[in-house]
Amino acid sequence: MEKIAERIKEIIDKSGNIVVLSGLNVMRETGLNGVRAEHLAYETEEKYGYANEEIISSAFYARRSEIFYDYIKNVTINKETAEPTIVHKAIRQLQQKGKVPRIITYTVYGLYENAGCENVLDIHGSIQKNKCPACGKIFDMKYIKDSVGEPLCDACKVPIRPGFLLLGERVDNGKMSEACDDIEAADVLFVIGFGIRESLCQHLHKYYKGNKLILVNTEEKLGDERADYRIYGKISEIVPYITGYDPDAVFEEPDEELEVAAAMEKETETAKNS
């Protein structure tokens, strides 16, 4: 790989406080369509008579929940399971090494959690965490997919509320400010599968104060110059390489020494900034 890959690899290897910001192109490699499924705009319009953006809006859900759920079950949940890729596994391994205190993801399938990751902030919610408005019980993606018609709570028989953000709804304020704080405290901001100016990334990257903004994406986008280090191509080839992913590595209990070191580093940073 290029020289830049070596440099990025070195930065990741040396850092103990990497915040991951993960975008749609990471999900694309799983074959899942996403909530908006913009690549299926024509098919959606043909089948439902509405545009994707219309169907996934909160107003549409309130009025036409049967069409909304038909779309979710067939277009958004186009696979039985949400299988993490080697990218999610590589990030999991960085976490096992005590390097990644936070993963902020824009996609809703719980892919990082399915890879065993912790401290995942699903900024647009999760299709694995649909909630009964009456009793609060949580239902996963499989439950939604398998239900006939509009999914109902198995206890209360009331319609389940989608766990992911609908168009026209605001991002949870608490999650947003957590994301901003974590990015502000990060040593390395590792953006994967996003252009810098795309959607949330455009807002969030501004909180990063360091000079190690690493960007990995499929292709170059306008505004990417903001990143200090950039590399384009197949995400599932680049990320395992620059993170030094070893599929055979075995990790036992979390290494407390590393965790303490990372916590101390964070504290020192906070002290320096205040």
Compose the 142-161 pattern: x for residues touching Zn ion by CB under 5 A, - for all others: -----------x-xx-----
Quote the least distance from Cβ 149 to Zn ion, whole Å: 17
Residue 153, annotated ligand binder?
A: yes
Does 88 participate in catalysis according to the annotation?
Answer: no
Beta-carbon-side half-sphere exposure of residue 248 (alpha carbons within 13 Å):
0
Judged by CB under 5 A, does residue 192 bind Zn ion? no
Judged by CB under 5 A, does residue 67 bind Zn ion? no
Which residues, 6 or more positions from 225, have their beta carbon under 8 angstroms from its beta carbon? none
From candidates 26, 75, 91, 132, binder to Zn ion by CB under 5 A: 132
Q: Reduce the DSSP state of residue 215 to 3 states and report it.
A: strand
Point out which span in 59-67, 114-122, 131-139, 236-244 binds Zn ion (CB under 5 A): 131-139
- Eight-state DSSP code of residue 40: G
Judged by CB under 5 A, does residue 215 bind Zn ion? no
Residue 123, by phi and psi: left (phi above 0), alpha (psi -120 to 50) or beta?
alpha
Residue 117, annotated ligand binder?
A: no
Residue 180, annotated ligand binder?
A: no
Distance, C-alpha 75 to centroid of its chain = 19
Quote the least distance from Cβ 155 to Zn ion, whole Å: 5
Judged by CB under 5 A, does residue 138 bind Zn ion? no
Which residues, 6 or more positions from 6, have their beta carbon under 8 angstroms from its beta carbon? none
Helix segments in 185-254, DSSP class H: 199-204, 235-242
Q: Are 243 and 96 in contact (CB under 8 A)?
A: no
Quote the least distance from Cβ 69 to Zn ion, whole Å: 17
- What residues line the site for Zn ion (CB under 5 A)? 132, 134-135, 137, 153, 155-156
Q: Which residues make up each annotated binding site? A: 132, 135, 153, 156
Which amino acids are annotated catalytic?
124
Binding residues for Zn(2+): 132, 135, 153, 156
